[in-house]
Amino acid sequence: MDTLVATVKTLSNKAKHLSTNVAASGGKTTPQVSILQRPQTKSYAEAAAQLPKTPTKGRKRSATQGPTPPKNPKQKQTKEARAPEDTSATPAKGNNENATVSRPKNTRIAKRRLYATRATPAPLPEASKLEPKISMAITKELQKCGCSAPTNLQIQINPTNGTVSLTTAPGTEAAEYTNYLAPMTTALSATLPEAARDYKEFPRAPTDTQVVIHGISLEATSNEKDSLYTVMKESLFLGQQVNISSARFLQNDPKIRTTKWYTSVVVSLPTDDVEKITPAVLVFGRHKSSVVMWHSNPTKQCRKCYLYRHPEEGCKATKHTCPICSGEHRLKEHRCASPACRKKGDKKIVANCCPVTPSKCIACGGNHPAYAAECAIKIKAKADAKAHYDRRRPSPTPEDMDITK
């Protein structure tokens, strides 16, 4: 039992740990930036001109404010200053699936989460004691149902509203549990004290996308978590007719936030609306840069450069790399150079067609496509992910981690 509890906690920590990278997406116009303090985008010169270069004197701020707020918001090193990581490394090829992405994908972590909310939001008494019990009850129930997906879900209970969130194992989407949501909810309720059995059924996995909006003035939003959602919702609805479902500070620590004049805010909204608010959005009358938040883990293979640890949304490569031959073209454009190709590779995509166009893995240089299971880099990535998953130690929160690392 203790082992199971430990596993559950580890899983939850791990999920946090994995879901930390935020990067510029939406492409070319968005500079890569450090996420924590990013006052504005260079590509929005106009907006930049409107922004105060220095804080207004005599402005009242929180008592916990640091003595010296940054004079120049740009003093922080931005990503542009760093060498792109993809340039020298051997890109790896990814899955053979869809090689192109026309719009931001849901974040991976979002696809791995399930939430059960209380009919009347309220803290769950002794939540930390209940977590392992609920976790075991759900695991047992899933096993009883013959669930083929991993049954060891990571659990977290929100201390404020009692929401129970479950995170699935890496590589497993929450959608795989769709058939078991009712019995899972029953198992959850059965574990709870009578007075707390008001949980609504786990809804299907959320499809919202998270977007980070940088350079939000704390003066406009206040430093309060609770009012943030209300204020952001109103502003984005008025300005863009976009309905957000949540808003939070990227920097979770209010004390750290008070040392800054600007902060970054993460909002969730329907994926179809993402392009309305990226790569820039009008908030409180000013243009702010915004990027789709992406998540990654060791096995995430980019479908643009076919390297690991980032999705296409976070790719810094300027050109696509072919996962079959390492050429500078997309997978769909891959053709054999030989008109006499015995497998008609000159007419369609065929990996390992003939000696004229051998496969070359961009990740390891081997004679296989970059998405091949035999690739040593892929095998290592999987091992890394497993080690990460198994490691039982507290992990930093997403806010602790900088995108530039």
| Residues making contact with Zn ion (CB under 5 A) | 302, 304-305, 315, 322, 324-325, 327, 334, 336, 338, 341, 345, 353-354, 356-357, 361, 363-364, 366, 375
Query: Residue for token digits 């998540």?
Result: 295
Query: Residue for token digits 């609504």?
Result: 200
CB 165 within 8 A of CB 113: yes
* Structure token pair of residue 231: 């204020």
| Closer residue to Zn ion in complex, CB, 282/354 | 354
Query: Cα(206)–Cα(111) distance, rounded to whole angstroms?
Result: 7
* Structure token pair of residue 284: 């409180």
Q: What string of DSSP letters covers 7-29?
A: HHHHHHHHHHHHS------S-TT
R_g over Cα of the chain: 23
* Structure token pair of residue 385: 């992910």
| Closer residue to Zn ion in complex, CB, 137/353 | 353
Distances (CA, A) of 77 to 30, 82, 256, 397: 15, 9, 18, 21
Q: Which of 188, 185, 184 is nearest to 134 (CA)?
A: 188
Q: Rounded to the nearest whole angstrom, what is the least distance from the CB of residue 285 to Zn ion in the complex?
A: 36
| Closer residue to Zn ion in complex, CB, 286/334 | 334
| Closer residue to Zn ion in complex, CB, 174/381 | 381
| Closer residue to Zn ion in complex, CB, 45/373 | 373
Q: Rounded to the nearest whole angstrom, what is the least distance from the CB of residue 287 to Zn ion in the complex?
A: 28
| Closer residue to Zn ion in complex, CB, 69/366 | 366
Write down how long the chain is.
Answer: 405
| Closer residue to Zn ion in complex, CB, 51/354 | 354
| Closer residue to Zn ion in complex, CB, 106/151 | 106
Query: Cα(267)–Cα(207) distance, rounded to whole angstroms?
Result: 13
Q: Rounded to the nearest whole angstrom, what is the least distance from the CB of residue 273 to Zn ion in the complex?
A: 25
Type of residue at 360: K
| Closer residue to Zn ion in complex, CB, 288/368 | 368
Q: Rounded to the nearest whole angstrom, what is the least distance from the CB of residue 213 to Zn ion in the complex?
A: 24
Q: Rounded to the nearest whole angstrom, what is the least distance from the CB of residue 156 to Zn ion in the complex?
A: 31
Q: Rounded to the nearest whole angstrom, what is the least distance from the CB of residue 29 to Zn ion in the complex?
A: 18
Type of residue at 123: P
Write out the E strands in 254-297: 262-270, 280-283, 286-292
Q: Rounded to the nearest whole angstrom, what is the least distance from the CB of residue 383 to Zn ion in the complex?
A: 15
Q: Rounded to the nearest whole angstrom, what is the least distance from the CB of residue 364 to Zn ion in the complex?
A: 3
**164-167, strands of its sheet edge to edge:** 113-116, 164-167, 154-157
**286-292, strands of its sheet edge to edge:** 246-249, 262-270, 208-217, 286-292, 280-283
| Residue 33 C-beta-side C-alpha neighbours within 13 Å | 31
Query: Residue for token digits 């919202």?
Result: 208
Q: Rounded to the nearest whole angstrom, what is the least distance from the CB of residue 82 to Zn ion in the complex?
A: 15
* Structure token pair of residue 328: 């500078």
| Closer residue to Zn ion in complex, CB, 206/311 | 311
Q: Rounded to the nearest whole angstrom, what is the least distance from the CB of residue 221 to Zn ion in the complex?
A: 33
CB 154 within 8 A of CB 14: yes
